[in-house]
Amino acid sequence: MSTRPHRHVTATDGQRLAVYSAGDPSGPTLVLVHGYPDNASVWDTLAADLAADHHVVTYDVRGAGRSTAPDDRTGYLLGQLADDLRAVVDSVSPGHPVHLVAHDWGSIQTWHAVTEPAHAHRFASFTSLSGPDLDHAGHWLREAPDGVRNVLRQAVRSSYIGFLSTPGLPEAAWLSGIGGLALAALERVGGGPRVPARRATRDYLNGLALYRANMLRRFTRPTGRRTGVPVQALAPTHDAFMVDQVQSNAGRWADDFRFHRFHGGHWSLRSRPAPVARRVRAFVAEIESGAPRPVRNLTAQQARRHGGAFAGQVAVITGAGGGIGRCLAFELAERGARIVAVDVNGPAAERTAALCSLVTPGSAARRVDVTDAAAMDGLASWVREEYGAPDMVVNNAGIGVAGPFLEATAEDLERVVDVNLWGVINGVRAFAPMMVESGGGGRIVNTASAASYLPSRLYGAYSATKAAVLALSRSLRGELAGRGVSVTAVCPGLIDTGIVSSARVSGLGEVSRTKDRLNRLYRLRGYTPERAARRIADAVESDPEMVPVTSEAHIGLALSRISPAAVRGYARVAPPL
């Protein structure tokens, strides 16, 4: 329980809410709403940081800390909790809208407030940590837009709800001492301090009414609750109680929504508050600046498909002037991301960025040669200055080389290694430190190829570079996992991108005829870069180690594991030309 001075605000039903203030009252007002089984003291470290340039208000929700508690379970209905928040806001900032930051059950009740038309005009923005709107979650569970697997994952993580909702069982556990030990264990699993948690019996038992008054009715009869309040959802990478998709899917219901991951657990607001403070500070500054913000009017079909997993994010994509890179830029922009399109062909990058900005404003283009390490470092510095640390970096730039290895020129070999391998290395070295320093949660996506595990007598040099990218990506995934940055290798098969037209070809007869035959093969395969981009975007959302894109990429990967001899035999066969 906080030891700071406080005052009381009277709720609409007469309950008294203990309110604490810090910082400069002339600055933007932030109201922080805690979850269960916490009280306002859970915010103390984060509030001290934000109070340097904001007016920060916290309060004990009804039944917790120094606030009073209703006698009946109906006093904990979400409507009443939203009214409490409104009462606090009207008391601390009667003339101006406030910025809301909420965690866990605090987020649940704040979602209810920002989706309530009678209250929404009092809120300038809302940052949600590890807490969905229960109606949104109810729709997500019913419709499973992100797959049954994710619904089952969430069901496992939410299994404790049944225990807390069972009359008498959690009370008996707490009074016997078992509940306190279990709570301390949950906090450690959730990223809280590794010290025994001390909670007042009153607060713990009162908070059980939150589950019993609201969960069943919201999950079984969810309504559609929209909001025009700008929302950012922050998802810890190691949240023991929530999967990302529940939170990102809220983008269906918000006109202005952005979703960001950061490295930490459920109680990171207390154990690792710096990434949270950084995102809150940037979001509030953006809203306070009055800059126009994109409003994404998605159709119902688009909303179900896109959710909000990339909304408001910044994605840097190399090789974005054409092929998969360009189509992936379009796909991510359509899903709400701001794109930094990078290509050695400056005008092509500018065209990509211009088209992306028509969908999600704020995209930009940079002409950079990925083989130039200094230029890539300069790109990273520019991105940091303009956007902050990116949420995603896609090292996609690549070139093709075909023909017998012994007939390839030294120049061709050096060029394919420089672009395909060193381009990835330079991209990782330029951006990964920034992503780690900013608090983690970002994604690095490296474009390898099915050729990385399917050797060919005609693509030896190309296969070698892509195998190196795959091996590097797997190693980096292990190295950066503990620092909150995920790494994924994308392995396309035969994608009709036009890469053949720009490939270096030697030892296969007349070059133009060879390229025509190869292009015909790719066109007959019929797998478009647009389709590949959709597959990559859908897959990357779930953070896989590798994404085989086409059927031949999947089959080849399976064969490389099940029957290496068959793959070696394939390497001896000349592809049809």
CATH code, 253: 3.40.50.1820
The helix/strand/coil state of 236 is strand
Spatial neighbors of 16 by CB under 8 A, at least 6 apart, are 8, 9, 10, 67, 68
Check: CB of residue 15 under 8 Å from CB of residue 84: yes
Q: Do residues 243 and 365 share a domain?
A: no
| Domain end among 289, 321, 340 | 289
pLDDT confidence band for 197 (50 / 70 / 90): very low
Q: Do residues 350 and 488 share a domain?
A: yes
- Indicate if the pLDDT at residue 512 is higher than 70: no
**What is the per-residue pLDDT for 293?**
59
Spatial neighbors of 169 by CB under 8 A, at least 6 apart, are 163
**What is the per-residue pLDDT for 304?**
46
pLDDT confidence band for 563 (50 / 70 / 90): confident
> Is residue 70 reached through a cis peptide bond, with omega within 30 degrees of 0 on the bond before it?
no
294 lies in some domain: no
Average pLDDT over residues 345-372: 95
**Side-chain half-sphere CA neighbours of 181 within 13 A:** 5
**What is the per-residue pLDDT for 418?**
96
299 lies in some domain: no
Q: Do residues 399 and 452 share a domain?
A: yes
| Domain end among 289, 323, 340 | 289
305 lies in some domain: no
Expressed as residue numbers, the domain containing 476 is 313-571
pLDDT confidence band for 301 (50 / 70 / 90): very low
Above pLDDT 90, what percent of the chain?
62
Q: Which ranges in 68-165 belong to alpha helices (H)? A: 78-92, 105-114, 117-120, 134-143, 148-157, 160-165
Of the two residues 188 and 356, the one the predictor is more confident about is 356
**What is the per-residue pLDDT for 292?**
59
Check: CB of residue 472 under 8 Å from CB of residue 576: no
The helix/strand/coil state of 144 is coil
- Indicate if the pLDDT at residue 570 is higher than 80: no
- The strand order across the sheet containing 338-343 reads 364-367, 338-343, 314-318, 392-395, 443-447, 486-491, 546-548
Check: CB of residue 272 under 8 Å from CB of residue 264: yes
CA distance 28 to 286: 12
90 lies in some domain: yes
Q: Do residues 85 and 174 share a domain?
A: yes
307 lies in some domain: no
Residue 148 to residues 139, 154, 556, Cα–Cα distance (Å): 13, 10, 27
**The two structure tokens encoding residue 253:** 């219901």
Check: CB of residue 408 under 8 Å from CB of residue 352: no
- Indicate if the pLDDT at residue 385 is higher than 70: yes
Predicted TM-score of the model (pTM): 0.88
Check: CB of residue 448 under 8 Å from CB of residue 497: no
**What is the per-residue pLDDT for 567?**
80
CA distance 23 to 93: 14
Check: CB of residue 415 under 8 Å from CB of residue 399: yes
Check: CB of residue 428 under 8 Å from CB of residue 473: no
**Axis-axis angle for helices 323-334, 346-359 (nearest 10):** 20
**Tens digit of pLDDT for each residue in 43-74?**
999 999 999 999 999 999 999 999 999 999 99
**Tens digit of pLDDT for each residue in 90-123?**
999 998 999 999 999 999 999 999 999 999 999 9
Spatial neighbors of 407 by CB under 8 A, at least 6 apart, are 506, 507
**Tens digit of pLDDT for each residue in 397-431?**
998 787 788 888 898 899 999 999 999 999 999 99
Average pLDDT over residues 307-332: 92
Chain centroid, CA 518 distance in Å:
38
- Indicate if the pLDDT at residue 2 is higher than 80: no
Q: What value does the mean pLDDT of the chain take?
A: 87
AA letter at 540: V
301 lies in some domain: no
For 426, counting Cβ atoms within 10 Å of its Cβ (0-12 exposed, 13-18 middle, 19+ buried), the class is buried
- Indicate if the pLDDT at residue 303 is higher than 50: no
CA distance 280 to 125: 10
- Indicate if the pLDDT at residue 550 is higher than 80: yes
**What is the per-residue pLDDT for 403?**
76
Q: Do residues 267 and 355 share a domain?
A: no
Spatial neighbors of 48 by CB under 8 A, at least 6 apart, are 22
577 lies in some domain: no
Average pLDDT over residues 180-189: 63
**The two structure tokens encoding residue 433:** 């430190």
Of the two residues 1 and 136, the one the predictor is more confident about is 136
Q: How many domains does the chain contain in total? A: 2
pLDDT confidence band for 571 (50 / 70 / 90): confident
CA distance 214 to 55: 32
Q: Do residues 409 and 546 share a domain?
A: yes
Q: Do residues 185 and 333 share a domain?
A: no
CA distance 329 to 355: 9
Q: Which residues are catalytic?
A: 462
Q: Which of 23-32, 199-208, 271-280, 447-456 has the lowest mean pLDDT?
A: 199-208
**What is the per-residue pLDDT for 126?**
98
- Indicate if the pLDDT at residue 220 is higher than 90: no
**What is the per-residue pLDDT for 516?**
57
298 lies in some domain: no
Q: Do residues 429 and 539 share a domain?
A: yes
pLDDT confidence band for 396 (50 / 70 / 90): very high
**The two structure tokens encoding residue 365:** 């283009």
Residue reference for tokens 């910025």: 99
Q: Do residues 317 and 284 share a domain?
A: no
**The two structure tokens encoding residue 321:** 């002037």
Please name every residue paired with 491 in a beta bridge, in sequence order, or none if there are none: 548
pLDDT confidence band for 280 (50 / 70 / 90): very high
Q: What are phi and psi of 66, to 5 degrees?
A: -90, 5
**What is the per-residue pLDDT for 493?**
78
Q: Do residues 275 and 358 share a domain?
A: no
**What is the per-residue pLDDT for 501?**
47
pLDDT confidence band for 300 (50 / 70 / 90): very low
CA distance 530 to 325: 10
Average pLDDT over residues 346-371: 95
Residue 473 to residues 11, 425, 452, Cα–Cα distance (Å): 54, 10, 12
Average pLDDT over residues 3-9: 78
Q: Do residues 244 and 353 share a domain?
A: no
- The dihedral sign for the CA sequence 257, 262, 266, 269: negative
The helix/strand/coil state of 197 is coil
Average pLDDT over residues 151-171: 88
CA distance 268 to 275: 9
CATH code, 357: 3.40.50.720
Residue 275 to residues 439, 442, 443, 472, Cα–Cα distance (Å): 5, 12, 16, 27
**End-to-end CA distance of the chain, in Å?**
74
Strand-strand pairing, 29-33 and 55-59: parallel
The helix/strand/coil state of 304 is helix
Q: Do residues 390 and 266 share a domain?
A: no
